[in-house]
Structure 1
Amino acid sequence: MAPTDTTTSSSIPNSASSEDDLIVVDVSGLLMQTEDKDHSLVGFSDPIGIVAVSNGPSWRVDGLLEAANLTGIDIDIPQQPAWTAEDIDTFRRFKDPGAARKIGPGQTQCWMGHRHALSHALSRGWDTVLVLEDDVDWGINIKHQLAVVAPHVLAVTQFSSKATASQPYGHSWDMLWIGHCGDAIPPIEYTMPTAEPQQRIVHKSNRPICTFAYAVTASAATKILQYTDRGVSNIVSTDLRWWCQAGFLACVTVNPELFHHHKKSGEVNSEIAVREGWQDLAAPAMEDFTANIRYSARCNARAVALVSCQDVFDGNRAEAAS
């Protein structure tokens, strides 16, 4: 296992097996408002695109664009087709007696939205695409965080060639799962050193859930589209997780995530929950907050001073940072 090379990261002993590689990454020293006017993200293969999965104008899109403007990122938001109920039922194999599982119409439309985003990326000729759900949020220092993560992706994937400016992550992966709501850290053969606050771990994907943000190569996007061409029986995060576990996709997770979905005061939390009739999950949020993101780009896009709206349990939420 390759040693870490961040300025203040914890060192990991070389006793873990190659199947269980993980790296501790220190991001505690990266609090800064970026003035970088380059509207691309650090890393991935050129050309890279960023595309949002969205079904139209909403508070989600408004906040997404404000956060993107604050952090100097360009995002494509392709208009989704007006899928009919028949389109949705066909894709979820609703009338197929051999389908292993039935998923709801809202969950199905979410999958179709991700497919549409991947198709859009391929039509643009991008080598790599970062797919974002339209309620996603990230830190104001996201470019610097990604720059710190990049060499550790190389280490975890055991990329042997020298990374280039256009490929700091190498190309020994299909999917980087950088926005999720949890992934189990793979078992290791030694005791982890005590993790300090603001550290993250880069590891081979194990059991990630949620698809807030992920990067895929063009070849991986093509495989996903081909594999789902005749419909699905599972939600998008389940299928992607299974394909990572099976080795159909080579996947790497940043844990905790760099992107998480934002909840806005007074607004419905989940369009899928509304469509499926899940009243508890559809309830409006009481306050603006983003879990696991210390200095939210969405919150700071409208703030006059640096604020944190990190978590509904965070006593410093939406207060000026010291």
Structure 2
Amino acid sequence: MSLIWRRISKLAVVAPLFFIAFSIHSFKHLPFPYLGNAYKRNIYNATLGFEGIAVVSTGWSWRSEGLLDAANLTGLKVDIPNQPKWSTHEVNAFRGLDDTTGEKLGPGETQCWLGHINVWSHAVEHNWATFLVLEDDVDWDVSIKQQLALVAPAIRKITKSTSYSTAQPYGNAWDLLWVGHCGDFIPPNAISLRDESLPIDLNVKYRENDGRFTVLTTEPQQRLVHMTATPMCTYAYALTGDAARKLHLYSKNWAFKGVITKDLAHWCQAGFLKCVTINPELFHHHKKAGTLTSEIAIVEGWPSNVWNVDFTANIKHSARCNSRSPTLVSCIDEFGDSEESQFAKLST
């Protein structure tokens, strides 16, 4: 079993400033199962209702340090398993041909795959029934627990869960919950919820991975829950233990055709995994001022931006930014004069 360096967060005493009130609304008027206090207690625990939270990380850096600060602020406990230093031979042995481009995966893309498999192994070793995977540059809102409590009944409804166990607040009929991504197609049968923790204009200013803004929903502050379609990016996702063991066994055959996002999405589409997407995402990657934020881009030699300010797209009240601020702030974009972006001004 690999050694783990772990920080157990202090249980944050959240001031009234951080309290967000939610109301649930579905344009389909679906009868949601009531999420009682026992369910909420599990979601409000240090692992968000999962049995563990594990982080994909190459080691100590601004990414992991900021993630731990955000976890402390929001009362989360995370494991950061030691990641092996894979040899060139091991990386090349894993690199299959992409059936779209006919080219091999790049070494950075391959190491990303191996990092996720390493976290799956960690979860399997700990026999977790469910767990959340985070990439180490990820960020989330200070109200993440309330957000997950909001979407949990919709997850149970759309997956047709048969479990009433409070130990399974998200139900028992899913394999993967895609909670951190950079976009997914929204099918017409998506369940819509009113989420007041969303930026008021995110429905018309949703930021895609290439920096472009797009219209996401017809109404402001809509959070959608739907079966996974064509997601991009693996900032954060939850797996069941059974799904992790299946994927871990499959990985021994090196039977991968593309980058991790592509393969996971394909397995969701093919029914190999039963997957649910939360849209807009609950987790997004953080951009740190003065740094090249993509480790894959650095290894691959791809062009990458250096940002002037810290920001996290599509997240109203970043846990990373607020872990360094005495007052509630937003750092949703790189524009210092934006109504939703005060952190750059306050931190200078």
- TM-score interval (norm. to shorter): 0.7 to 0.9
Counterpart position of 1:33: none
CA distance in 1, matches of 2:142, 2:131: 20
State the identity %.
51
Decide whether the 8 Å contact of 1:100 with 1:233 is kept in 2.
Answer: no
CA distance in 2, matches of 1:126, 1:220: 11
Decide whether the 8 Å contact of 2:67 with 2:139 is kept in 1.
Answer: yes
Q: TM-score, normalised by structure 2?
A: 0.76
Report whether the alignment pairs 1:40 with 2:26.
no
- Tell me the secondary structure at the aligned position of residue 75 of structure 1: strand
Report deviation, 1:224.
1.1
Decide whether the 8 Å contact of 2:189 with 2:226 is kept in 1.
Answer: no
Q: TM-score, normalised by structure 1?
A: 0.82
Equivalent residue letter for 2:237? Y
Counterpart position of 2:241: 218
Equivalent residue letter for 1:173? W
Report whether the alignment pairs 1:110 with 2:112.
yes
Decide whether the 8 Å contact of 1:309 with 1:316 is kept in 2.
Answer: yes
Equivalent residue letter for 2:111? Q
CA distance in 2, matches of 1:7, 1:58: 35
Question: Does the C-alpha gap of structure 1 residues 145 and 188 become closer, same or farther in structure 2, counting only changes over 3 Å?
Answer: closer
Equivalent residue letter for 2:174? W
Report deviation, 1:38.
4.1
Decide whether the 8 Å contact of 1:115 with 1:225 is kept in 2.
Answer: yes
Unpaired runs of 5+ residues, structure 1, are 1-5, 15-20, 24-35
Root mean square deviation of aligned Cα: 2.9
Unpaired runs of 5+ residues, structure 2, are 1-20, 33-42, 195-216
Deviates more, 1:102-111 or 1:222-231: 222-231
How big is each residue's C-alpha offset from its partner over 1:196-245, in whole Å with a ceiling of 9 and x where there is no partner? 42221000001111000000001101111122212223111100000000
CA distance in 2, matches of 1:159, 1:286: 46
Question: What does residue range 10-25 of structure 1 map to in structure 2 within 5 Å?
Answer: 10-13=25-28
Question: What does residue range 108-257 of structure 1 map to in structure 2 within 5 Å?
Answer: 108-162=110-164, 164-188=165-189, 195-231=218-254, 232-257=256-281
Decide whether the 8 Å contact of 2:44 with 2:145 is kept in 1.
Answer: no
Q: 2:56 aligns with which of 42, 45, 53?
A: 53
How big is each residue's C-alpha offset from its partner over 1:147-169, in whole Å with a ceiling of 9 and x where there is no partner? 1111010111011343x221111
How big is each residue's C-alpha offset from its partner over 1:116-152, in whole Å with a ceiling of 9 and x where there is no partner? 0000011112111100000000000111111111101
- Tell me the secondary structure at the aligned position of residue 90 of structure 1: helix
Report whether the alignment pairs 1:87 with 2:90.
yes
Counterpart position of 2:316: 294
How big is each residue's C-alpha offset from its partner over 1:69-110, in whole Å with a ceiling of 9 and x where there is no partner? 00010110011111011110001137x99x954110000000
